[in-house]
Amino acid sequence: MFPISDDNPHHGRSVLTWAFIAACVLVFLWQMSLGDRALHMAILALGVVPSTLVGDAQLPPDIFMVPPWATLFTSMFLHGGFMHLAGNMLYLWIFGDNVEVALGWKRFIIFYLVCGLAAAGAQTLVNPQSDIPMIGASGAISGVLGAYLMLFPRAKVRVLMFPFGIIGVPALIVLGVWFGMQLLSGFGSSGSGGGVAFWAHVGGFVAGMALIPLMKLPGVPLFASAQHKPFYREPVRDVFQPTRSDVRSGQAGPWGRRDSSPKPPSSNSNSPWNQPRKPRH
């Protein structure tokens, strides 16, 4: 299952969600401007290294940039590659706006950062002696996913499943399967090598679930009711290319735009649309 969007309208602005996305993209562009050696040193200096955070290890003076505690924040905006960045930003774009509106922008900042801290803490507890730096917004975004599950478990997530097309699946299933995979992968990994920090995902997700009842705005309910039927299917062509009937009737296309061209009436025989056209010489 590859989520591409959710079918969960909200009334409010999600400025911070876009601000976090923009910040991560800008930092990634800065990373790409560095040479290989400079990039490696930047990741060591700005990523969370458990052995320096909770142990006695120290970075060499020529690499040191910020205190170990500050890397808990700087690491959230670094990424290991384009796919790492793209996957994280896609999930933040899909689920972040609704959570931000439910919290308000001030609380959303605190929520996002605290979930990131909890994620780094969980991964550090698994292997506190590790000297491998942790980077990425995955932990904070995992907290957003946990909050979304608590707020909108029956909201529909539009999942791309070839060759079946677009399937509307309840968030409870999509996010539940995602969390189960992180948990199983975490138990199956030693936590001492590189790769995906599964326990950071688990820690951030659990933190998000625990924090959202305490931090949501007054009047925002938990476990909101579904907007649509439990499952639905959209053929791929209907998502990426509107049908003729949609265009003629002025129905919104997949990106929410309406056809504004004039439409010939179907029954008025005196309309100029129905008159034969004279040949031009």
Query: Which of 126, 139, 117, 125 is closest to 191 using CA atoms?
Result: 126
Task: Give the list of residues 6+ apart from residue 270 with CB closer than 8 angstroms, or none.
Answer: none
- Rounded to whole angstroms, the Cα distance separating 171 from 246 reads 28
Residue 75: DSSP 8-state:
G
The CB density around residue 11, as the number of other CB atoms within 10 Å, is: 5
Q: Does domain 8-154+173-209 have CATH number 3.20.20.70?
A: no
The residue that leads in pLDDT, 99 or 258, is 99
Average pLDDT (217-231) is 79
Q: What is the pLDDT of residue 207?
A: 98
- Rounded to whole angstroms, the Cα distance separating 41 from 51 reads 16
In sequence order, which ranges of 36-104 are alpha helices (DSSP H)? 36-46, 50-53, 71-74, 82-103
- Rounded to whole angstroms, the Cα distance separating 140 from 45 reads 20
Q: What is the pLDDT of residue 259?
A: 43
* pLDDT bracket for residue 236 (50, 70, 90): low
The CB density around residue 234, as the number of other CB atoms within 10 Å, is: 15
Check whether 193 has a pLDDT greater than 70.
no
- Rounded to whole angstroms, the Cα distance separating 166 from 232 reads 8
